[in-house]
Amino acid sequence: MKKSARQNAEWTRYRVGVPSASSNWTNSDCEPFDTVYHICHLGDAVRVFEDGRIRSSLVWDVSKLRNSRTCVSWVSPNLWVHGSIYGNIRFDFDWRDLIEGQRFYWVESITHYNPPAYRILISQHEHSELGLKAYDPTRKDGPLFHDPSTDTWYRNGNYTGEFLVDADLSLNECEKVGFWDHHETRCKKVGSHCKYLGKRGHEAGAELIARLVGHNILEPQELFFDASTRRKRLHHEAAEAWEHLKRSLKVATNSKGVITHKHPAALYVVTAILDRFGLGRPKGTAKLCNLFSSSEELWSALTSRMICAFGLSSADGLQEN
């Protein structure tokens, strides 16, 4: 692109600022980043585990790509202080691995968002036929900047970054699955009728883990492990979700249940409990819990199921380090 054209390009209004010279401060308009996120609702996350990938799909909102038949997977470097409008379940990807060998194309800016969003297509293919302009991240004139001298990537954090990858994203390329609070009143997918509005991240995480374990689709388990330790144990968010799951399940004091954690049927009853809890069916969950003789017996059976599902050596691996 000619110099004059780049100077008049749409992306220049979102250009990054200057990196902070202080080690304990980051300028919001020039934030370094290494990770991007795909956030979705619980049901979509379960399908990701069933498929083993985040499947790319058509761009359906107001976009110049809407009628292009281009299928993309959405990721962003942004996280949301007031809760996500996209759901509770967060898939973390290493940015450098994601873009290796890829080209960048400026798609558009979405000015009616608050804050405004910029969109960049990431692809191995040439896309001039879509009317998209090639974007050079090594030139410091847009919201995404790569400093080759330090191999540092920066973004203008005052805006919402939306990166459109024109491929499926394999779970094998994902670094971690975590959880995020849903926005109290806004949902990008379902709107004001979303049943997860205001739902805390660890609550949705508990439901996800219950569904995955109950349906035997918890793979790869490593996405829920703490990568900072050699021992296999849950990372902080997963451990918090497990604690919420355990606290949510108990046997009523007037229950006449007889099943203990050693009973031959305990494993199957716990699996059914996890299925109903993950599907948000409290009445069915409570009735199944009451088949156990006590909450302690229920928790013992539940803990055994989790140890097996995550491939851990003991219950210690279910706790935060």
Higher pLDDT, 307 or 3: 307
> Where does the pLDDT of residue 126 fall: very low under 50, low under 70, confident under 90, or very high at 90 and above?
confident
Phi, psi of 178, rounded to the nearest 5 degrees: -130, -170
Domain residues of the chain, as ranges? Answer: 3-193, 201-318
- Provide mean pLDDT across the span 100-120: 94
User: Rounded mean pLDDT of the chain?
Assistant: 94
Q: Rounded CA gap, 162 and 183, in Å? A: 18
Q: What is the pLDDT of residues 185-230, one digit of tens each?
A: 999 887 779 999 999 999 999 999 999 999 999 999 999 999 998 8
DSSP secondary structure code for residue 72 in this structure: E
The average pLDDT across 131-150 equals: 95
> Which residues are paired to 146 by β-bridges?
153
Q: Where are the alpha helices (DSSP H) in the chain?
A: 3-7, 42-51, 95-99, 201-214, 236-248, 266-278, 282-289, 295-310
pLDDT, tens digit (0-9, with 9 covering 90-100), for 47-72: 999 999 999 999 988 888 988 889 99
Buried b (16+ CB within 10 A) or exposed e, 113-146: eeeebbbbbbbeeebeeeebbebbbeebebbbbb
108: closest CA among 191, 192, 185, 164?
164
Q: Which residue do the tokens 């090594």 mark?
A: 138
Q: How far is CA 62 from CA 109, 111, 116, 185, in A?
A: 11, 11, 14, 22
